[in-house]
Amino acid sequence: MKKSVVIYSLVPFICLSSFANESVFNKKESSSLVVSSTKKLYDVALKNFRQKNYEKAYEQFNTLFLSSMQDVLYNFYLGRSAYELGKYEFALSAYDRILIVNPNNSRARLEMAQTYFKMKLFTQSLKEFNRVLEDKNLPVVVQKRVNEKVDYIKKLQKKSFFNATAVAGILYDSNINSTPEVDFFYLDNFDNKIQTGEKKSATIYQVVGQLNNTYKYSDNFILNSSATAVLMKYNNHKEKDIHALSLNISPTYLSKEYKLELPILFDKVNLGHESYQNNIYLNPKYTTILNSEVLYTLGLKAGRVSFVKDEERDANIFELQNSAKYASSNYGLFSFGLNLGEERRIRGNRIDVNYKYMNTYLNNVYELSEDYLLQTSLNYKEYLYKDTNASFQSRKRDKKMDASIAIIKPLKKDLHLNLGGSYTKKDSSHASSEYNKHTMKANLIWNVNLD
């Protein structure tokens, strides 16, 4: 009897123990199912990330993150997915959580630095990249890329950039009593002003120096300025020597779709060691990308040409400029241009001042090999004068054609050799204005960034 009572009294405890064992079993089974489900979701999320389905990957890694907020892999891929979607603040938060747990995680810090860079927060980006470089175990390849990024950011943070170009060479001109050939500089209004006397040839020594500066006020607004000096010394013809100085100041606005420039130019020219000509221009330009291969520029040039010893030659210049650059994968870089202009007499009655003109050109730079560039150019210009010439009883019309070819060979990183020649022929309804000539040149060109 007592034995039965004891057995019955133990029944509740036996049942409770069985329930407890069942609960433990179900808990283990449930935990196993959760782990399996989490791993499956992680695999799917990682697959979507690798297949660049970043929206799905972000949602799935965010679900995983909510289940385990300190998990490094969840946070890393959540941050990477957010970065690819442009959710940079969310990406930074994910990387920050990793670095709180492990400040020495260079991969997460590297991603954070890149995210700051994408947000154009260059100071913060530079700080994080430098922290990455403190890792002594960083692979050499990664270290090299990080150093390149650091140098690039430092350049972006710079406000002022200088560049210098110098040219020294010798030129043969078969007809020096015509428009002079000047590299890197255009002596405006010379075309119809210095044709005198019989045809003479000469050797010319040429030196050109140019200093450029770019000052960056912001990512969208910069100031470009340059100074160019030209010296041309004619052998045995001192009266033909040219000394010229050109100054150019150009406020520039940049956007993703276009560029706006407002160059202000001033030229001072001495001919035969005497002051000859002063020019000033305003030349606003609009440049836009038409497609991946074509760049188009529209410009308007307005200014004044003043002659020191002959004020009746003074004129106002107006010019509409159209140009395009086309980059061909097979045939090099092409430049096309069509300019329409007019020179208006300011005072006096000189008939060789008032005229309209049209100028069109085609230039090409083609890479023959890694060591040689071929540069070719064709230029055609027409002048139509407004006044009737009393001697010819007609209005003067000139046609001028130039063709040139040159080979450019790099000698060193900043030094190039330029060998070339050109042919010029000018026809006119008035025979006294006709001429032709050829030139040959050899130049050394040095170009360097002064940073």
Domain boundary among 142, 157, 172: 157
Identify the domain boundary among 129, 157, 185. Answer: 157
114 with 169, same domain? no
Same domain, 132 and 241: no
Q: What is the 3-state secondary structure (H, E, C) of the chain?
A: CHHHHHHHHHHHHHHHHHHHHHHHHHHHHHHHHHHHHHHHHHHHHHHHHHCCCHHHHHHHHHHHHHHCCCCHHHHHHHHHHHHHCCCHHHHHHHHHHHHHHCCCCHHHHHHHHHHHHHCCCHHHHHHHHHHHHCCCCCCHHHHHHHHHHHHHHHHHHCCEEEEEEEEEEEEEECCCCCCCCCCCCCCCCCCCCCCCCCCCCEEEEEEEEEEEEEEECCCCEEEEEEEEEEEEEECCCHHHCEEEEEEEEEEEEECCCEEEECCEEEEEEEECCEEEEEEEEECCEEEEECCCCEEEEEEEEEEEEEECCCHHHCEEEEEEEEEEEEEECCCEEEEEEEEEEEEEECCCCCCCCCEEEEEEEEEEEEEEECCEEEEEEEEEEEEEEEEEECCCCEEEEEEEEEEEEEEEEECCCCEEEEEEEEEEEEEECCHHHCEEEEEEEEEEEEEEECC
| pLDDT value at residue 185 | 58
Across the range 379-385, mean pLDDT stands at 94
Structural domain contains residue 25: no
Residue 58 belongs to a domain with what CATH number?
Answer: 1.25.40.10
101-105, 274-278, 411-415, 431-435: which range is least confident on average? Answer: 431-435
Determine, yes or no, domain membership for 283.
Answer: yes
* Predicted local confidence at residue 272, as pLDDT: 87
Q: How confident is the model at residue 10 (pLDDT cuts 50, 70, 90)?
A: very low
Domain limits at 212? 161-449
Task: Write the CATH number for 341.
Answer: 2.40.160.40
Same domain, 153 and 217: no
Q: What is the pTM of this model?
A: 0.70
Res 270 pLDDT > 70 = yes
- pLDDT tier for residue 177 given thresholds of 50, 70 and 90: confident
Please check whether residues 194 and 329 belong to one and the same domain. Answer: yes
- Same domain (yes/no): 312, 430: yes
Q: Are residues 266 and 401 in the same domain?
A: yes
Q: Are residues 141 and 172 in the same domain?
A: no
- Residue 208 within any structural domain of the chain: yes
20 located within any domain:
no
Q: Are residues 127 and 271 in the same domain?
A: no
pLDDT digits (tens, 9 = 90+) for 281-333: 999 999 999 988 999 999 999 999 999 988 888 999 999 999 999 999 899 99
Asked which of 123, 157, 191 is the last residue of a domain, the reply is 157
User: Same structural domain for residues 193 and 300?
Assistant: yes
Quick one: 128 and 172 in the same domain? no
Answer whether residue 117 shows pLDDT above 60. yes
Confidence band, pLDDT 50/70/90 cuts, at residue 264? very high
22: in domain:
no
Whether residue 12 lies inside any domain: the answer is no
